[in-house]
Structure 1
């Protein structure tokens, strides 16, 4: 049976049949947005600037690599950034929770552990964004916060909104959930401060690119090779992310003969699932690797990926950040 998101790229009988639910979802999300805008629902303002990085579509857009780049960029500008996230999929009994590279992704979520490892920033997770942000500020010396995937969490005041879209998929069929991929109305693109596309897009002139880095062995992280190490080899490619096809295409572009294994986003892997009955190398995403490291073997590798926005986006971003310093 096909997953529902299979029908989100076009107008088809399935998406058309779901349109009444889509209209209801769009109305409810718009009313909620307006309620926060006019003050019917309370918004918490923090003593430090907050930058929200998010999207209005379901599925991977490259948001997490951009958050990593942004954290490093802010540090280069002299800031002391902290990061908050929802901790999607985390099973912790108490929230909010601090996250460090050694944290258990089953408890706090896979993306936060990856973010903590790649950025070195103080990072807290929890479903209540204002409470999570306040806990982070009480525990760490930060003068600016990044809210990862918090565009629809309006209870937290934001000083800058960055919306990330997938250049190839755009807004899909333009319908809201469940008939399409949209979490909010397309007009939201005109209400945020900055829009950036992962790859070429007719929705914005700002563009970022994702670059593959080192291949890192899960069992021995000090063992690192370039992607070309596996050139022309048959490998298993596994991805439990929002858009696994992008990861698979990266491997194919590097001339790897990939036997692909897509899984649902945030999938909780078992050892059997990542250990096919052969001797081929297994390559996965970094987000999946944080969950698989405890039972990985020498045949398991993950690929680091980094984002690089274009200069136009960086100039617009820096102008807004200077406004923070100027009050």
Structure 2
């Protein structure tokens, strides 16, 4: 069973599910029984949107364009690698990105906080620390549940920033945006993995925070083969009349947790897996994708799926009977201080299509609807 602990709200998690139930994937007796609650949840979403629309003229926008990389399905779909790749590519083109995040899994913050490579994941969240480490601290990054306040704090400290990338935030009504489909400069991206939208019911009968028909500027598909992505484009009503890009992800060269300069190749680990006990552990939104990617490399393993953002202890690993333990980079940021030579970190490298980058930059160069100049 796959586990997901990233909720739309903390109350939703406590009231309904801490782990993604199987009935979220297909419609059946349980999901149909819960469907009336999903209808009430949907009414709440529409009421919130109406309130937001009525207050639209009272909200002050921000002087920089915002790119929101989010998802409508509860749990992770692979947003963070996209944020890293997008910021890196925009910087190569001369932009000066800043990054914001809510900081899931972090302690409650009373004010916006800057994230660095040395930040404590328990304080600011595991994904923000991963972004800071993967980008070598190249981009200013701030976390806070109120994303507008995070942006304002970032811009005050780094006024040269001319584009903001938000890791999640599609459901954050307090962040005023002018989506590209309406002629503004801001961009809303929905990340979708091979699981799709499951049974397409809203919480709690299904896995969706919002209807699959929500407005969006583009869908980014990750973890799908080209043939699978093409089939979805042709036959899935989710994509009808909507822009979509298929992203290519691959596993990088594993390195030892306690000594990152010590690397090993995937073929070598695959060969060792035929003779030794190999485990893969993942506390991410979709652990099965990590396990599947390893198995595609010929690595025979057993996978242990933990709740997204779960923490690790040395004792946890000591109790695992394995000669190789493979983890993700997101897991690695929470394993500082764990001295276990069996643990190997497997990075993921993501390539963004050239057509996608060209489209994004074409939006960023549009005139600002409020007349700001960068």
Shorter-normalised TM-score: what interval? Answer: over 0.9
Match of 2:256 in 1: 217
Corresponding residue SS for 1:18 = helix
Change (3 A) 1:143 1:230: same
The match for 1:308 among 351, 355, 372 is 351
Match of 1:144 in 2: 163
Q: Does 1:71 align with 2:87?
A: yes
**1:60·1:242 contact (CA, 8 Å) conserved in 2?**
yes
SS of the equivalent of 1:171 reads: coil
Is residue 109–residue 144 contact of structure 2 (8 Å, CA) maintained in 1? Answer: no
Matches within 5 A, 1:225-264: 225-232=264-271, 233=273, 234-264=277-307
Aligned with 1:178 (options 194, 204, 209) = 204
What secondary structure, in the 3-state scheme, does the structure 1 residue paired with 2:213 have? Answer: helix
CA distance in 2, matches of 1:55, 1:324: 27
Distance 2:280 2:58 in 1: 45
Check the 8 A contact 1:52/1:161 in 2, yes or no. Answer: yes
Determine if contact 2:27/2:199 at 8 Å carries over to the other structure.
yes
Matched, 1:11 2:50: no
| Pairing 1:157–2:176 present | yes
1:291 & 1:152 partners in 2: Cα distance? 27
Is contact 1:114-1:287 (8 Å) kept?
Answer: yes
CA distance in 2, matches of 1:42, 1:150: 20
1:269/1:49 CA distance change after superposition, 3 Å: same
TM-score by length of 1: 0.93
Secondary structure class of the residue paired with 1:52: strand
* Number of aligned residues: 324
Q: How does 1:1-327 map to 2 (within 5 A)?
A: 3-39=19-55, 43-119=59-135, 120-140=138-158, 141-158=160-177, 159-166=186-193, 168-188=194-214, 191-198=215-222, 199=224, 200=229, 201-202=232-233, 203-204=238-239, 205-232=244-271, 233=273, 234-323=277-366
Deviations 1:220-271, CA, capped at 9 Å, x for gaps:
1122233222013131100011110000001111111112111001111221
Question: Which of 150-159 and 309-318 deviates more?
Answer: 309-318
CA RMSD in angstroms, aligned pairs only: 2.1
CA distance in 1 between partners of 2:278 and 2:65 (Å): 45
Q: Does the Cα contact within 8 Å between 1:210 and 1:308 map onto a contact in 2?
A: yes
- Give ranges in structure 1 of 5+ residues lacking alignment: none
Q: 2:12: which partner in 1?
A: none
- How far apart are the structure 1 equivalents of 2:207 and 2:57? 26
User: Compared with structure 1, are the counterparts of its residues 236 and 137 closer, same or farther at alpha carbon in structure 2 (3 Å cutoff)?
Assistant: same
> What is the Cα deviation at residue 93 of structure 1?
4.8
Q: Secondary structure of the residue that 1:265 maps to in structure 2?
A: coil
> For 1:15 and 1:41, how far apart are their aligned partners in 2?
39
CA distance in structure 2 between the partners assigned to 1:142 and 1:216 by the alignment: 33
Give the stretch that moved more between structures: 262-271 or 192-201.
192-201
